[in-house]
Structure 1
Amino acid sequence: MSGSRRRKSRTSLVVLVLCLVAGGTWTYLSYTDRPAPPPGVNQVSQADAQQQSTLVDQEDLRIMQTRATLSSALARGGPAAAQARVPHISSSANGRTLVLPQRREPYRIADLERLGQEQFQKQSDDSYVLGINLFLGPGAKLVLQNATGPLVIRMRSEPGAFVSIVGFGASIRINGSAQNPVRITSWDAQARTADTKVSDGRAYLRAVGGELKMSHALVEHLGFWSGPTGGVALTGSDRPTRTAEPVAPAEQASAASDRQRMLLPNGLLVPSRGGDDEIEITDGTGARKVAYRLPEANLVTGVITDTRITGNAYGIFITASDETRIANVSVTGSLVHGVLLHRFARNASVENTTVTGSRGDGFVLSRGTQNVTITGSRAERNTGNGFTISGLPLARGPSASGESLRSFGGSSLISSTARDNGRYGVEIQGGVKPVVQTTEVVGGEMGIVVSKDATDVQISGNRLRGQRSQGIALRDGVLSARVSGNIVRDTQTAIYLRDSKATISANTVQSASLHAVSVLGAADGTAITGNTLGGAGRSALDTARAKGKLALAQNNTAGWQNTAGFWTMVKRIAKPMNLIWFGVILLIVIAALRALRGDGPRVGRRFVSPYEKQMVLEERPAWVLRTAGSETPARRS
Structure 2
Amino acid sequence: MNRSLVTTAAIVGLLAALVLPTGAWAEDLEGTTYDETEVVSGDAYPGDPDVEAMLVSSEERRLIDVRAIANAAGWTNINQGRPYRLVTGNTYTLVLIPRESPYTLADLLQYAPSTFVRQPDGSYLLSENIVVEQGATLKLEDEEGLVLHLASTPDAFVSIVTIGGSIELAGTAEKPIEVAAWDPVSQTADTDTTDGRAYLRVTGGVARFSHVDFHDLGFWSGATGGVALTGNAAPDTLKEYDDLNRVGRDTEDAGTTTVYGTEIFPADGAELLTTEPDLGAYSYVAADIDDISVRDNAFGLFITSAQGVDIRNSSFEHNLVDGLVLHRDVTNTVVHNTTVSHNAVDGVAVTRAATGVVLSRLTVEQNGRNGITIEGGPLADGPSAMGTSVGDYGNNEVEDSMVSGNGRYGIEILGGEHLTVDANTVDGHDMGIVVADAVSDVTITDNLVQHSSEHAIALRGGVTGATVQGNDIDGGEVGIYLRDASGSVDRNTIIGVSNHAVTLIAATGATQITNNDVSGRGPSAIDIARAGSIDPTTRANDVDAWVSTKPLDVILRSIFQPLTVLWLILGALVVFSAISGVRARRKNAGIRHPYASHTPLSQLTSGIADPTAFGRPPAHEGNSR
TM-score category of the 2 structures, normalised to the smaller one: 0.7 to 0.9
Contact 1:101–1:137 (8 Å) recurs in 2: yes
Hey, what's the Cα distance between the residues in 1 that align with 2:392 and 2:560?
42
1:556 has 2:542 as partner: yes
SS for the counterpart of 2:346 is coil
When residues 612 and 467 of structure 1 are mapped into structure 2, their CA distance, relative to the original with a 3 A threshold, is: farther
- Indicate the residue corresponding to 2:244 in structure 1: none
Is residue 132 of structure 2 the alignment partner of residue 136 of structure 1? Answer: yes
Work out which of the residue numbers 319, 323, 338 in structure 1 matches 2:323.
338
Query: How far 1:385 moved relative to its partner?
Result: 1.1
Task: Report the secondary structure of 2:213's partner residue.
Answer: strand
Q: 8 Å contact 2:45–2:320 — kept in the other structure?
A: no
Q: Is 1:197 paired with 2:192?
A: yes
CA–CA distance in structure 1, aligned partners of residues 15 and 590 of structure 2: 30
Measure, in 2, the Cα distance between the counterparts of 1:607 and 1:309. Answer: 102
- Partner residue of 2:370 out of 385, 402, 405: 385
How many angstroms apart in 2 are the aligned matches of 1:580 and 1:297?
73
Deviation readout 1:497-548 (Å, 9 max, x if unpaired): 1122211111111222211111111222211111111222221111111121
Q: CA offsets per residue over residues 322-378 of structure 1, 9 Å max, x none?
A: 001110011111111111100100000001111001111111111000001111111
Judged with a 3 Å threshold, the aligned counterparts in structure 2 of structure 1 residues 460 and 27 are, in CA distance, closer, same or farther, namely closer
Matched, 1:604 2:605: no
AA in 2 matched with 1:565: P
Deviations 1:602-624 (A, max 9, x none): 55286999x9997749876699x
CA gap of 1:620–1:155, structure 2 versus 1, over 3 A, is: same
Which deviations, in whole Å up to 9, do the C-alpha atoms of 1:273-293 show, x marking residues without a partner?
A: xxxxxxxxxxxxxxxxxxxxx
More displaced, 353-362 or 189-198? 189-198
Bigger CA drift: 162-171 or 560-569? 560-569
Between the aligned partners of 1:107 and 1:410, the Cα distance in structure 2 is 39
Task: Classify the secondary structure of the residue corresponding to 1:33.
Answer: coil
Give 1:178-257 correspondences, 5 Å limit.
178-237=173-232
Paired position in structure 2 for 1:627? none
User: Residue in 2 aligned with 1:73?
Assistant: 73
1:473 aligned residue: 458
Deviation, 1:563, is 2.2
| CA separation of 1:70 and 1:592: change in aligned 2, threshold 3 A | same
CA distance in 2, matches of 1:588, 1:359: 65
Give SS of 1:352's match.
strand
* Residue pair 1:19, 1:579 contacting (<8 A) in 2 also: no
The one-letter amino acid of 2:86's match is S
Q: Which amino acid aligns with 1:492?
A: E
Identity of aligned residues (%): 34
AA of the residue aligned to 1:181: P
- SS of the aligned residue for 1:480 comes to strand
- Mapped partners of 2:421, 2:25: distance in 1: 36
Cα distance in 2 for residues equivalent to 1:194 and 1:212: 24
- For residues 19-418 of structure 1, the aligned pairs below 5 Å read 22-27=22-27, 32-33=33-34, 35-41=36-42, 43=44, 48-75=48-75, 77-78=76-77, 80-82=78-80, 85-93=81-89, 95-147=91-143, 149-237=144-232, 298-418=283-403
CA contact (8 A) 1:602 1:608 kept: no
Instruction: Provide the secondary structure at the position in 2 that maps to 1:59.
Output: helix
RMSD: 3.3
Task: Give the gaps of 5 or more residues in structure 1.
Answer: 242-293, 624-637
Moved more, 218-227 or 534-543: 534-543
- Higher relative contact order structure (alpha carbons within 8 Å, sequence separation ≥ 6): 2
Contact 1:407 1:432 in 2 (8 A): yes
Residue number among 416, 422, 443 corresponding to 2:428 in the alignment: 443
- Change in 2 beyond 3 A, CA 1:606/1:334: farther
Structure label with greater radius of gyration: 2
Residue identity in the other structure for 2:418: K
Q: Is the 8 A contact 1:58 1:94 kept in 2?
A: no
Cα offsets for 1:307-335 (capped at 9, x unmatched):
11111111111001000111001111111
SS, match of residue 114 in structure 1: helix
Cross-structure match for 1:250? none
The alpha carbon displacement at 1:574 in A equals 6.9
Tell me: CA distance 1:190–1:18, structure 2 relative to 1, closer, same or farther (3 Å).
Answer: farther
- 1:238–1:310 Cα change, 3 Å: closer
TM-score normalized with structure 1 length: 0.80
Deviation of the 1:555 alpha carbon:
1.4
**Do structure 1's residue 516 and structure 2's residue 511 form an aligned pair?**
no
How far the C-alpha of 1:40 sits from its partner, in A, is 2.5
Distance 1:468 1:572, change over 3 A: farther
Summarize the Cα distance change of 1:606–1:360 in structure 2 as closer, same or farther, 3 Å threshold.
Answer: farther
SS for the counterpart of 1:501 is strand
Quick check: 2:429–2:453 contact (8 Å CA) kept in 1? yes
Q: How does 1:569-608 map to 2 (within 5 A)?
A: 569-570=555-556, 572=558, 577=562, 581=566, 584=569, 588=573, 592=577, 595=580, 604=587
Return the alpha-carbon distance in structure 2 between the equivalents of residues 396 and 560 of structure 1.
45
2:319–2:344 CA contact under 8 A, matched in 1: yes
Closer, same or farther: CA 230–606 of 1 in aligned 2, 3 Å: farther
Number of equivalent positions = 560
Query: 1:544-580, CA deviations, whole angstroms, 9 ceiling, x for partnerless residues?
Result: 11121322221112222222232442454577x4797
Q: How do 1:603-622 residues align onto structure 2 when only pairs under 5 Å count?
A: 604=587, 616=599
Q: Residue type matched to 2:488 in 1? A: T
The aligned residue for residue 417 of structure 2 is: 432
